[in-house]
Amino acid sequence: MTQLLKSKFAPTNTDNLFSGIWIRWQALTLGERLACANIVLIPIWWISGIYRHMSPFLLLGVIGYEWQKYKEIRLKRPTIAVVALLLFAMYQIAKILFAYDVPGREKFSNIFVMTICPAIWLWYIGSNNVRLRLKAIAWAFTFVVVLMLGFWVLLQFVLPETLFFPNNIPTLATLITGQTTEETGFTQTNNPYYLLPYQIAGESLRRYNFFFVYPEYTALIVGCIGFMALDLKNRLWSWLLLLACVFIIVLSGTRIAWLAFPVVIGSRYIIGNFSKRYIPAIAFALIAVVSFTALSVPPATRLLENQVTQSTEAIGDVRSDSTEVRAEIYSKTIEELRSNEDALIWGHAARGKPVQNISFARVGSHSFILGTLLYLNGIVGTVIFLVFWGALFYWLYKTRSGRPLACFCILLFYSLVSITLELVYGNSTSALMIVLCAALREPKPSLQGVHHA
C-alpha cells in the first residue's frame, strides 16, 4: 500500500531526480541545491527576520565560491536588461544625492537590495548559462506550500490569536537589534519585525501571509508557484499544487491577485496552444462572437453590465475601507503629478502626505506603476525601467529553448498586479522570483548529467 501511494503521488521520475516523493540531493546540480535549500528554508528566513537580506547574502556566497574556485567572478558582456536595470539603480542613487536631506527619501540599502543585487544575479545567470530544472524548484516550493497549509490548520483550529497579537513574538533579528514598533513606524498588525502569520483587516477578516511577511507577497509568490504547477508533467501533482495555490491566494485577501491569476492562466492556455491549427481560429471566433453579443444585443449588454457592476461591488465590499483609501491615494497622486511638471519628469524625492491620517497610506503609494515608477522616479526613471522590463521579456523569448511557459506567465502576472500593488518589486523575495525566471530552463540533452552552476 505504501509503495502504491508513493508511486501515485510521486513526481514523474524520468532522470532519477526523485526517490518516491523525496528529491535526491545527489541528483541536483550545484545551482539547484542552492535554490532548493533556500526555498525549503523560507520559514527559517522568516523566523530569523533577515528575509529582506536573502538576495545579498546568497549573492555574497556565490561570489565567495567563484573567487575560491576560479580566482575571479566569471561575468561576460551584460545584456540590455542588465544594463537598463543598473542604469535604473544609478538614477535612483542620483535622486537620493540631490535630495539627501529630504525626510522619507529612499535609502541606499533599499536600492542595493531591490535593484543592484537582482541586476548582478541576472548578469551572473546569463554569463554562466545557469539552468535550474523546473521539477526540482517545483518540489521545493511544494514543500513550502504543504507547510503553509499545515500552518493554516494550526492557526485556524489550534493556536490562539493572542499568541501572536499584539506583537508577542519578535524575530531573532529584532531580539538582537532591539527595534520596536515605535522605532520602525509599523502598526500592530503590519510589522515585519515580529512573527505575524496573518493580518487582521476590519473586525475579524484574516489576511494570511504565513512566511512572506505581507499578504501581498504571499499572493505574489504563491501565484508564481501556481504557474510552475501548470508545467509539471505529473498531472496529479500539478492539479493538487495548483488547487493549493488558489486556496492560499484566496486566504491572502489580495484582490488584484484574484483577478490577475485567472487572466494569466487563460492567456497561458491560448499561447501554449497557439501552434495548433484549430486553436487560433476558435479563440478569435469566440472573441468575435462574445464581442458582438455583448455590444450589439441590448439584453446581453445590460446583463453583462449588471454582472460587472455586481462583481466589482462584491470585491470592493470585502475590504471597502481599503477601496476608498486607495481611490483617494490614486486621485491625489495623479493630481500632484499634473500640478508639478518637473516632478512628473524627474520624480518626487519622497512619497507625499498621509491620506485619511493613515501613516502607511501616502500619496504616491499603493501602486508600483503610478507610485513607485511615475511618482517617485518620474517619466525618465519609468522609461528606463520599462526598457529593462521589455528587454527581459525579449531575452527570455530569445533563450526560450527548454524554458517553461511559467517564466512568461510570472512576468505577465507581475505586470498585471503592479497596477495596484506597490510591493510587487519592493522585496528581495519578489525580486528573486524574477531572477528565478531567468534560471528556469531544462539542460541541453547532451549536457545531462553534467553539473551546471
Helix (H) or strand (E) holding 413, with range, is: helix 406-417
Residue 363, SS3 per DSSP = coil
For residue 285, count other CB atoms closer than 10 A to its CB: 10
Of 268, 22, 4, 235, nearest in space to 136 by CA: 22
Amino acid at 146: V
Q: What confidence score (pLDDT) does residue 435 get?
A: 94
pTM (two decimals): 0.85
Of 219, 225, 213, nearest in space to 54 by CA: 213
For residue 42, count other CB atoms closer than 10 A to its CB: 22
* First-residue to last-residue Cα distance in the chain: 39
Question: What is the Cα 151 distance to its own chain's centre?
Answer: 21
Cα 197 to Cα 211: distance, rounded to the nearest angstrom: 7
Residue 202, SS3 per DSSP = coil
Amino acid at 127: S
In sequence order, the 6+-apart residues with CB closer than 8 A to the CB of 286 are none
Q: What confidence score (pLDDT) does residue 174 get?
A: 85
Return the DSSP state at 200: E
Cα 171 to Cα 73: distance, rounded to the nearest angstrom: 34
Name the one residue in this structure whose C-alpha cell is 522609461: 383
Q: Write out the three cell numbers for 60.
A: 555574497
DSSP sequence for 186-198? -BTTB-TTB--SE
Q: Is the peptide bond before 170 cis (omega within 30 degrees of 0)?
A: no
Q: What confidence score (pLDDT) does residue 269 get?
A: 83
Q: Write out the three cell numbers for 266.
A: 487563460
Cα 83 to Cα 71: distance, rounded to the nearest angstrom: 25
Q: Any idea what the Cα angle at residue 38 is, between residues 401 and 165, rounded to 5°?
A: 130
Q: What confidence score (pLDDT) does residue 162 get?
A: 83
Q: What confidence score (pLDDT) does residue 203 get?
A: 64
Q: What confidence score (pLDDT) does residue 5 get?
A: 41
Return the DSSP state at 373: I
- Residues of the chain with pLDDT below 50 are 1-10, 12-14, 182-185, 308, 311-312, 314-315, 447-452
Is the CB of residue 419 less than 8 Å from the CB of residue 366?
Answer: no
Whole-Å CA distances, 32 to 147, 254, 323, 438: 20, 30, 41, 13
Work out whether the CA dihedral 191, 195, 200, 205 comes out positive or negative: positive
